[in-house]
Homo-oligomer: A and B are copies of this chain.
Amino acid sequence: MSPLTDQIRALIAARQLAPGARLPPERTLAAELGVSRSRLREAMQQLISRGLIVSRRGGGNFVAPGSAERALEQAMQPLQPLAQAEGGYWQDVMEIRKSLEADAAYHAALRADDRDRQHLQAALGAVCAGAADPETQSRADAAFHMAIAEASHNLVLRQVISGLFDLMRVSIAESLSKLHLLPDTAEKLNHQHQAIAAAILAGRADDARQAATDHLCFVEDSLRRIETETARARRAGALRNKLPQGELPA
């Protein structure tokens, strides 16, 4: 985030401030950290907007409830490799995809014309072929889901789903490669993709919706499992190394 926010979180961790605990007044805290209140507040606003701290006008600033472990972990691990976890967006996105793509599959089954079916089958072939390159594979995956969105013949739906994929394009390849580390995942994914396509091509709308829902729930669940695992791994090897901060120039 910023050096100051890390300092604040480190201070929270050092003093063992539990969720709900009140932290020093801004004026005091600013003096303690040797900065002006304005600067302190700019950092504080970031923490507030991230939900790590809640603020009550006239009352004080408090450690947000349920953010104990995060605050501690992150304070002990100043270098956060959660570039993709930035704000935990992917969970939000998956939640929406479950609804929208289920809808898209449903309507696609009802409205797909010959051209749509052709595209869908081509996309299915590509995604099931399986590419060694995660980047290529993720493209194929996106193309498959977009083919369904197209076939739904709902322009707004198509645009929104396209936007969501755009939103995730950075993390999809990475997630997908991680996903394939789990046993049998590739086969399961292929099977699910085929089930969705089959239902759509056969015009079985309800089956299509169900298949899409199952697929996305599986992906979401797998991703969640992976995240907790990597988090655990990070915790285990935490005090291993103290590598310098990476810088990204323009």
| B-binding residues in A (CB < 8 A) | 1-2, 5, 38, 41-43, 45-46, 49-51, 56, 68, 71-72, 74-76, 78-79, 82, 86-87, 89, 92-93, 95-96, 99-100, 102-103, 107, 154-157, 159-160, 162-164, 166-167, 250
Please name the residue on chain B nearest to A50 by beta carbon.
Answer: B87
> A157 near B92 (CB under 8 angstroms)?
yes
CB neighbours (8 Å) of A82 from chain B are 155-156
Q: How many copies of this chain sit in the oligomeric assembly?
A: 2
A250→B62 CA distance, assembly (Å): 12
A70 to chain B, nearest CB (A): 9
CB neighbours (8 Å) of A103 from chain B are 95-96, 99
* Residue in A1, A43, A75, A154 whose Cβ sees the most chain B Cβ within 10 Å: A75
Please name the residue on chain B nearest to A115 by beta carbon.
Answer: B54
CB neighbours (8 Å) of A89 from chain B are 68, 155-156
CB neighbours (8 Å) of A160 from chain B are 75-76, 96, 160, 163
A188 to chain B, nearest CB (A): 25
Top 5 A-B pairs ranked by shortest CB distance? A75-B163, A92-B156, A71-B166, A99-B99, A46-B49
8 Å CB contact of A38 from B1, B38, B159, B250: B38
CB neighbours (8 Å) of A41 from chain B are 38, 42
CB neighbours (8 Å) of A68 from chain B are 86-87, 89, 167
CB neighbours (8 Å) of A72 from chain B are 163-164, 167
A9 to chain B, nearest CB (A): 13
A162→B75 CA distance, assembly (Å): 7
